Amino acid sequence: MTEKISFFMKKYQDRIEELLLDVFPSELSDDPTVKAAMYSLLAGGKRIRPVLMYMVAEMLKLDLEDVDDFAAAMEMVHTYSLIHDDLPCMDDDCLRRGKPTCHIAHGEAFALLAGDALLNRAFERVLLAVTKNPKTASAASYFAGNTGILGMIGGQSIDLASEGKKIETGLLCELHEKKTGALINASCLIPYFIYAADKGEDKKLYDLIHRFSAGTGLGFQIKDDLLDVQADEQVLGKSTGKDARDNKSTFVTVFGEKSAQQMLDDTYADVYAALDELSALGFDVTALRQFSDVLQNRVQ
Amino acid sequence: MTEKISFFMKKYQDRIEELLLDVFPSELSDDPTVKAAMYSLLAGGKRIRPVLMYMVAEMLKLDLEDVDDFAAAMEMVHTYSLIHDDLPCMDDDCLRRGKPTCHIAHGEAFALLAGDALLNRAFERVLLAVTKNPKTASAASYFAGNTGILGMIGGQSIDLASEGKKIETGLLCELHEKKTGALINASCLIPYFIYAADKGEDKKLYDLIHRFSAGTGLGFQIKDDLLDVQADEQVLGKSTGKDARDNKSTFVTVFGEKSAQQMLDDTYADVYAALDELSALGFDVTALRQFSDVLQNRVQ
């Protein structure tokens, strides 16, 4: 995805990369937990969640500064979840984004603490946003709900509980709505909540952004599952074919590659339909449409 | 401590126990991560941090409802830190409060997620408090700072980095100020921040509560280190003599048992002096004084 995506993303990627450089106080730069956290935080992630947040914020004509703290916090939560997910007691992965995982590079104990530190620091950042602007309180609550047991962690829990089992379609969808979908939903809707705190609620706008983000989250997961069987390991930066080996229930292992591809196409058709409706309301969705195209067709 | 402490603590203990019963939505009660979290949350902790918070709140004539969310969040953070600390890659403990540790009872993966879920849920609760009463925003930020890399996690990081090494006195103190002290500080000062948001800042009051809480935190750690060599394993509910075996730097292994006992007495002399000064300002410190006596002389 690198070449094509960078054209639309660069402005937002540069912004989030700069924010992430100093999420911890500089006097702690030698702390081994901070080093482990920064190793993973700056390991070249695609920054999809902050980019989505910034794009929706611009669509809503918010100042990007209004979402900076949330964008940084979101990437910190995403990174902590990857660090903990990679640990030996979870997925036991040693390669991530083409580099040794955090616990391989920094040891299990510091990887564990690094994850904890990133999650906690994310909330310090969110509370800073609320202190600066009390109108972001509902966005902050939405953030917290989506990162926790009702969102991402809840998805990880279902995932873990269903390991090695065939699970039914409804549970597979709930798993991914939470595990992957919750952070993507929050990324797209946090700008809406900040917007609504100022201009008042707008149910139609909320519904359309939610429809866009739900499709984007689902599409992201289906694509991930397809890449596990279609991608080049070198390009992907992690092991392929792992889902079938691990007896994981994915859209590919449950429905087969061809059906999963069809589901991906259908899902993106709905994503574009939501964007068309937002466009009809007068919102500029150019960037979001181009980004969706890139996500749908990514090779890593 | 059970018999004597319960007289002064019961009101607050009962209050926090009830709050902790439903920190997770009831529809998630079968989720294995929630089960693991509740297993540890309701494992019979002494609830020292919420009790301190409630006692300081009553001293400041706050409504206990004003600190409920923070009291619950504090105990959730304390519990998550124990779950993660007990994991094989950290202290590798199999006994806690006389019961199998979370990962022994629920497996490593769910123990890891249970810790994450408790930390996240604690912040959901804190953000709920801020939404209900925006004046708690500074208390919330203080909470977050003390639970993270600048507080408790920072202490755990120093602890881990200095394992098996003799560390200098300054670093030993910093370690414990952060690892144990930060949550105790926050427990005592959160009521102050809520009080100050209403009545205005009062530096003298802040300083005295801080002096009380710093001494209580330090005293708590010295006492813990003394119990590791003095206590009955059955009464303590966890293995004793572990610090020396693990080459841990503690107040006992660094200074010797006799000096550590003297430091404990000196520390508590200062705690009582701070309470005397608060009393001279017209605050009722009866409960805090009795609780300090119990903490100083506890056997577990």
Contacts of B157 in chain A (CB under 8 A): 31-34, 110, 113, 117
Whether B154 sits inside 8 A of A31 (CB atoms) is yes
Which residues in chain A are contacts of B156 at CB distance < 8 A? Answer: 33, 113
Distance of alpha carbon B214 from alpha carbon B230, whole angstroms: 24
Which of B123, B141, B163, B179 to substitute to test the interface with A, most A CBs within 10 Å? B123
Counting the structural domains of chain A, the total is: 1
Q: Residue B236 CB: number of other CB atoms within 10 A? A: 18
DSSP conformational letter for A97: T
B95/A contact by beta carbon, under 8 A: no
Closest Cα to residue A277, out of A211, A217, A219? Answer: A211
DSSP 8-class letter at B134: G
Question: To 10 degrees, the CA torsion angle through A203, A208, A211, A213?
Answer: -100
| Selected residues 45-84 of chain B with any CB under 8 Å from a CB in chain A | 80, 84
Pick the residue of B113, B135, B147, B171 with the most A CBs within 10 A to test the interface with A by mutation: B113
Domain with residue B183: its CATH number is: 1.10.600.10
Query: Within 10 A of A232 (CB to CB), how many other CB atoms are there?
Result: 11
Core vs surface per residue A13-46: b (16+ CB within 10 A) or e:
bebbbebbeebbeeebeebbbbbbbbbbbebebb
Does B110 reach chain A within 8 Å, measured CB to CB?
Answer: yes
User: A-chain residues within 8 Å CB-CB of B141?
Assistant: 124, 127-128, 131
**SS3 string of A120-143?**
HHHHHHHHHHHHHCHHHHHHHHHH
Residue A25 forms contact with B (CB below 8 Å): yes
Q: Give the closest of B34, B90, B138 to A149, CB-based.
A: B34
The tens digit of pLDDT for each residue in B115-174 reads 999 999 999 999 999 999 999 999 999 999 999 999 999 999 999 998 878 888 899 999
What pLDDT does residue A243 have? Answer: 78
Chain A touched by B128 (CB under 8 Å): yes
> What is the distance between the alpha carbons of residues B169 and B167, in angstroms, rounded to a whole number?
7
Q: Give A295 to chain B, closest Cα distance, Å.
A: 29
Confidence of residue A102 (pLDDT cuts 50, 70, 90): very high
For B254-286, the pLDDT digits (tens) are 899 999 999 999 999 999 999 999 999 999 999
Domain extent for B89:
2-296
Question: Residue A189: is its pLDDT beyond 80?
Answer: yes
- Cα(B280)–Cα(B284) distance, rounded to whole angstroms? 9
Asked if the Cβ–Cβ distance from B84 to A116 is below 8 Å, we say yes
Instruction: Write phi, then psi, for B264 (nearest 5 degrees).
Output: -60, -45
pLDDT at A77: 98
Q: Check whether A3 has a pLDDT greater than 50.
A: no
| Residue B126 burial class via C-beta count within 10 angstroms: exposed 0-12, middle 13-18, buried 19 and up | buried
Residues of A in contact with B28 (CB under 8 A): 149-150, 154
| Least CB–CB distance from B153: residue in A120, A138, A160 | A120
Instruction: Find the mean pLDDT for residues A14-22.
Output: 96
* Average pLDDT of span A266-288: 97
Give the torsion through C-alpha atoms of B141, B145, B147, B153, to 10 deg.
160
Output the furthest CA–CA distance in chain A (Å, rounded): 53
- Check whether A232 has a pLDDT greater than 90: no
The CB density around residue A70, as the number of other CB atoms within 10 Å, is 28
Nearest CB to A140 within list B34, B127, B160? B127
Distance from CA of A30 to the nearest CA of B (A): 11
**Could you give the CA distance from residue B243 to residue B39 in angstroms, rounded to a whole number?**
26
| ipTM surpassing 0.90 | yes
Closest CA to B73 of B3, B127, B7: B127
- Encode pLDDT of B69-125 as tens digits: 999 999 999 999 999 999 999 999 999 888 999 999 999 999 999 999 999 999 999
Q: Which residues of chain B does A153 touch, with a Cβ-Cβ cutoff of 8 Å?
A: 33, 113, 116-117, 120
H/E segment holding residue B123: helix B108-132
Mutation for testing the A interface, residue in B136, B149, B156, B190 having most A CBs under 10 Å: B149
Q: Are B54 and B286 within 8 A, CB to CB?
A: no
Q: Is B138 in Cβ contact with A131 (below 8 Å)?
A: yes
Give yes or no for residue A179 having a pLDDT over 70.
Answer: yes
Amino acid at B148: G
pLDDT band at A282 (very low <50, low <70, confident <90, very high): very high
Give pTM, 2 decimals. Answer: 0.95
Asked whether the beta carbons of A101 and A86 are under 8 A apart, the reply is: yes
How large a percentage of chain A has pLDDT more than 90? Answer: 82
Composition of chain A by helix, strand, coil, percent to 5: 75, 0, 25
The residue ranking higher by pLDDT, B115 or A254, is B115
The secondary structure of A34-67 as a DSSP string is: HHHHHHHHTS----HHHHHHHHHHHHTT--THHH
- Residue-wise pLDDT for A130-169, tens only, equals 999 999 999 999 999 999 999 999 999 999 998 878 888 8
